[in-house]
């Protein structure tokens, strides 16, 4: 306890946690933009319209490759690869994976149902708006979210940000801090009335992913849970958009 208090009295502790978080998020935003800009000429050369379903999905590929480069680059440049733990999942990890996925899905359905009971409508999703007139877009996003979105977002927010906060302030603050940053970064993904309710939902879901990682300390687990959760959402939106089901 004494060493922890002494550490918190050192400004370098806060600089490393808060400054590191700001730096990695800034790198993510910058490199995501750069990779999208570099990717557009490839789409043009291939004859793929930028606003087509495939073009939008590939834009996400470029964006999240930028996420991954930013995350790995930050860890290597700052010699902090020990912040992130990745290993082949064990049997215990598999329990966290299965339980985490179904728990996350149940929590999401519970929160959205509760908001509906109180007449609180969620904000409009930019992704849903993009695919409103070309639902195949949502299916294109399935491999993107499994192989890129889940792994790279978990690398940034759970692996790096949560790791920085854990080293400085302990596990409880790490979970809360990483979840808050995760929700804040998603503010541009939604619009309209209900933005605060939607961001609060993202905060809660991010908290579940943070707890999963904190418990199993294997980034593969929340990455897979995240990717599968998004997949269920995309398939559900595709099904409702195409009339395969009437709604949820």
- Report the pLDDT value the prediction gives residue 5, as an integer from 0 to 100: 39
pLDDT digits (tens, 9 = 90+) for 41-54: 999 999 999 999 99
Do residues 102 and 212 make contact, with C-beta atoms less than 8 angstroms apart? no
What count of residues does the chain have?
A: 248
- Report the pLDDT value the prediction gives residue 8, as an integer from 0 to 100: 78
Overall pTM surpassing 0.85 (yes/no):
yes
- Report the pLDDT value the prediction gives residue 3, as an integer from 0 to 100: 37
Strands 190-191 and 124-125: antiparallel
CA distance linking residue 79 with residue 88, whole number of Å: 23
pLDDT digits (tens, 9 = 90+) for 77-133: 999 999 999 999 999 999 999 999 999 999 999 999 999 999 998 999 999 999 989
The C-alpha torsion from 43 through 44 and 46 to 50, rounded to 10°, is 50
Residue spans of the chain under pLDDT 50: 1-6, 248
């Amino acid at each position: 306890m004494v060493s922890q208090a002494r550490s918190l009295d050192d400004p370098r502790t806060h600089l490393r946690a808060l400054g590191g978080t700001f730096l990695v998020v800034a790198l993510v935003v910058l490199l995501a933009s750069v990779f999208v800009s570099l990717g557009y000429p490839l789409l043009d050369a291939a004859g793929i319209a930028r606003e087509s379903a495939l073009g939008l999905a590939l834009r996400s590929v470029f964006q999240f490759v930028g996420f991954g480069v930013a995350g790995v680059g930050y860890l290597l440049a700052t010699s902090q690869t020990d912040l992130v733990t990745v290993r082949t999942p064990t049997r215990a990890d598999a329990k966290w994976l299965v339980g985490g996925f179904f728990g996350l899905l149940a929590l999401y359905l519970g929160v959205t149902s509760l908001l509906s009971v109180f007449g609180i409508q969620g904000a409009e999703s930019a992704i849903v708006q993009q695919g409103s007139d070309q639902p195949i877009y949502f299916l294109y996003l399935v491999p993107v979210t499994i192989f890129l979105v889940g792994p790279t977002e978990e690398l940034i927010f759970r692996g790096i940000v949560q790791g920085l906060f854990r080293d400085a302030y302990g596990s409880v603050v790490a979970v809360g801090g990483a979840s808050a940053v995760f929700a804040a970064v998603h503010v541009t993904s939604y619009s309209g009335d209900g933005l605060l309710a939607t961001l609060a939902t993202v905060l809660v879901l991010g908290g579940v992913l943070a707890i999963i990682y904190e418990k199993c300390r294997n980034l593969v687990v929340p990455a897979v849970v995240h990717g599968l959760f998004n997949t269920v959402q995309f398939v559900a939106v595709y099904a409702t958009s195409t009339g395969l089901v009437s709604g949820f």
